[in-house]
Structure 1
């Protein structure tokens, strides 16, 4: 009942027709190209474990499946558990391989199983932290005192330097901690993991390792010369270091030439924000011409999904067009979104000479949420009018489509729809005692429809919508005859208080930063976004002049890339200065600190060379690899300088007159006699990282660009440490001797240790 008159109720059926009907459709979901479906999105609470949530959902769906009506099934249109599980399996496989390789390298170089157990057992830091065998420091007999003193003195010799070198590695990772936004969220966990493991390693190096040495290294200590690995490597290295010290300037010149040749490779490498991560699924997001209807959009969606489903590599297809029943989804009917779940790679049909490249769902969602651009790279045009923005976008689309790197470019067309304008004549409305709001309320409820209540059936609720029948609102003339109630109860036609007309205009207006905005989506054949942007800017500057009041800016992943680049440019010099200060605190010498900074430049050259050979662009992942490389390169140099000082100390303690030849011989002795631990460290790092370079599992796309600079840089920095560091050390000490700055006992304040026996590590 809506009213009553003379005791008789006026019902809805007396005023119009009551029927069931659909709500206004703004989107469609489709499954496998077979027909429409109902889709839903599950939102996980912040901080929850995604894999546990997905497994719980699957278990719950399996529970309710028997109770579903006949013919109703629930399928996962997109399932991220495969991506998570495969990434974890890839990481577990690589970690296991690295542990086995490091253990094997340690056993080979030490050539003694019990001795090799010391570094092998320190790998599981969590376990060893609970079982530190400090008790063994207090156990021994009289005939073990000399052995104990040798082991403790050896640990004291390298302990402080190793502790500071590990501290250098921690400091070198500071740039990763200071990364912002998406790149920070991606790599900060890696930095925390690396820092915590190095922190525990530093603690173990000065606590647990000496204890394990006393426990495992028993019996007669084997001289370095008895180790076959040492004999072979020393025989190969000795003539090289002698030649380098004899021809110092030639050695330096060759290394400078190598730097001059490899460093410019950086100019030939491309740049991108992150290497593309294969997620095991694909996302297809085409855009149709504006103004398409719901029927045509549904047909087009089913047709494209049916074609995609026909490929043997495809497992399932779930497509949507338009917006869902959510206030957070504002997609128009010309925007399509098809999620394609792929079969495992071993079931793909090989195409000789081609590699498969896909746009991935996680990457796309991040890009759209952070920038609004659905492609990895795009443009945002800002200006005074929507029409002007659309014209500029069309011109940019025309120019960029000519570039060879562009696969497709689409400038967003603002949907030019028809609008029905009802302009209220305020003076005429006032004559009837009505306001603009009164007229608009009549238009809204009678023409547009108004939900006045809800119909309840069990737990289901349906809105009750009241509006004029189509016959009364089908043409402008019919709309003009719609009656509007006045405060006095009289009814006047709408055309007597308002002017009705049609016009065209945008169905959606974008606004960013207080300015009208339009998007240009660009799909590239290359991942080198930096080089493409440079060439595109040149082409646009040469062939197009923007109207006054209009501008454009690059967006998408390129926006993240610029932000990370500017951040690293600010932080890296500060980190290098901090590393230099730490080295100065260890060696109390500006010259030696500079010598130990040089390996980072040779590490960069080797990393650039391998990066160029493998075809990796500069990205945040690659720079994280270089950051890890800097600390390792400095650590290797620190170990070398410690041994050079130790050999020179022995010469000073002998009491003989120190000469330039004595300094050179001491350098040869320190470099050659301690070659094995340096090579063991480098070989373990290289051997554990090289398998990552040919890894093909999910997640390896990000791991390989991190590992490549470390592998290439470790090779060149090790050569520099083994050859150039002794050369610079000898040159500095000989100069100090000539100037009278190197005197008896001067070196003792740096490494005040007298080894009784050479234990070879």
Structure 2
């Protein structure tokens, strides 16, 4: 399911690669010392600058052209040790011909490689692939060979990870605002919780909807779930408010619940079904432009459908349970007084 895999360190031109040998380290040499002396011999070291008119000419001390183009000259290059001795380069360093990267990228002053790929969502799940490769586990061969290596996400995967953190804050703020807006007019701390109990079932419906439609969760799916919070409470709010009005008119608890359920059944079902069928054209729209909002439509449509069934069954039951608990506590307070 993964294709078009690219590496920013793609091989470019040939280059000479030097790796210090144990003998070189024993002589007090470092990788920098060897590289610096080789650079002086082949690239040159600036010894002076000569001014000619408006131009400044740099005078470089280095091998002649014929020597600079010969591998034999490199192998026979004499490297000066900290003790002042001179040894052949091939005795203190391994000389290999390798491929140089086309470009060198650094992140926070550290060498970095960018690996990109495309995922066919019809075959593979991008989130599952990301979970397999990130983060790199200690037991993997690449960590055993390069202990200092670090990896991080970028692109859509990084945006999804950041969105997950922001999504938690968004959920918290949305639920808090919904609770406050309902607690004030209802004059109750418990009834808003009953109304909001339909939200988890709406989220379940959104997940099942993605499974039915064969879609993977995306950023737009999460946005649809946040929007779903404000929609699924509508039917529950209508039910609870109707029960409260009937009780204020003198009906008993069970009578008000049964009457409200029968009277509001048609309105709640029609509201939810019209919303669901209104979103069907978007869910089955094959055009490329609509593919972006299809996950959001699926979250809304199936979330509302599932929450409606819960509203007609669970909300009246929870309402009766809450009122009976309140009644029991009020009787206990009366007995104490």
The reply to whether TM is greater than 0.5 is yes
* Equivalent residue for 2:130, pick from 533, 543, 555: 533
* Offset of residue 564 of structure 1: 1.0
Q: Aligned residue for 1:484?
A: none
**What residue in structure 1 maps to residue 141 of structure 2?**
543
Query: Which position in structure 2 is the counterpart of 1:407?
Result: 3
Per the alignment, do residues 694 and 576 of structure 1 end up closer, same or farther by CA in structure 2, a change over 3 Å counting? same
Rounded Cα–Cα distance in structure 2 between residues aligned with 1:433 and 1:724 = 92
In structure 2, list runs of 5 or more residues that go unmatched. 17-38, 69-96, 332-337
Secondary structure of residue in 1 paired with 2:199 = helix
Give the distance between the partners of 2:182 and 2:317, measured in 1 at CA.
19
Structure 1 pair 612–506 and aligned structure 2 pair: CA distance change class (3 A): closer
SS of aligned partner of 2:140: helix
> CA 1:416/1:592 → structure 2, altered by over 3 Å: closer, same or farther?
same
* Alignment pair present for 1:683 and 2:276: no
Tell me whether 1:722 sits opposite 2:312 in the alignment: yes
Q: Distance in 1 between matches of 2:112 and 2:212?
A: 41
Q: CA contact under 8 A between 2:273 and 2:305: conserved in structure 1?
A: no
Q: 2:109 aligns with which of 514, 524, 527?
A: 514
Separation (CA, whole Å) in 1 of partners of 2:273 and 2:51: 92
Residue 612 of structure 1 aligns to a residue in which SS?
A: helix
- Residue aligning to 1:632: 231
1:608 and 2:207 equivalent? yes
Q: How many Å apart are 1:538 and its aligned residue?
A: 7.5
The alignment's TM-score, normalised by the length of structure 1, stands at 0.33
Aligned length: 269
Q: 1:516 to 1:586 in 2, by over 3 A?
A: same
Secondary structure, aligned partner of 1:532:
helix
Q: Could you say if the C-alpha distance between residues 668 and 424 of structure 1 is closer, same or farther in structure 2, counting changes exceeding 3 Å? A: same
With structure 2 as the length reference, what TM-score do the two structures score? 0.70
Query: What secondary structure, in the 3-state scheme, does the structure 2 residue paired with 1:577 have?
Result: helix
* Aligned equivalent of 2:260, options 655, 670, 687: 670
The answer to whether the Cα contact below 8 Å between 1:664 and 1:730 also exists between their aligned partners in 2 is yes
Give a deviation string over 1:109-143, Cα, whole Å, max 9, x none: xxxxxxxxxxxxxxxxxxxxxxxxxxxxxxxxxxx
Deviation at 1:630, TM superposition (A): 0.9
The answer for the alignment partner of 2:44 in structure 1 is 423
| Aligned with residue 57 of structure 2, among 404, 424, 439 | 439
Aligned residue number for residue 98 of structure 1: none
The 3 A distance-change label for structure 1 pair 709 and 433 is closer
> Runs of at least 4 residues of structure 1 off by over 6 A?
none
DSSP-derived class of the 1:686 partner: helix
Checking the alignment, whether the CA contact within 8 Å between 1:417 and 1:506 is kept in structure 2 is no
Quote the offset at 1:740 in angstroms.
Answer: 4.6
Please name the residue that 1:564 is paired with: 163
Q: Secondary structure of 1:508's match?
A: coil
Counterpart contact for 1:637–1:725, Cα < 8 Å: yes
Asked if the contact 2:279/2:301 (under 8 Å) is kept, the reply is yes
Separation in 2, partners of 1:551, 1:729: 54
- Equivalent residue number for residue 221 of structure 2: 622
- Matched with 2:322 is 732
Partner SS state of residue 253, structure 2: helix
Partners of 1:409 and 1:524 lie apart in 2 by 10
| Change beyond 3 A, Cα 1:416–1:549 | farther
RMSD: 3.3
Distance 1:561 1:677 in 2: 38
Tell me if the contact between 2:134 and 2:151 (Cα under 8 Å) persists in the aligned partners: no
Trace 1:295-314 onto structure 2 (pairs within 5 A).
none
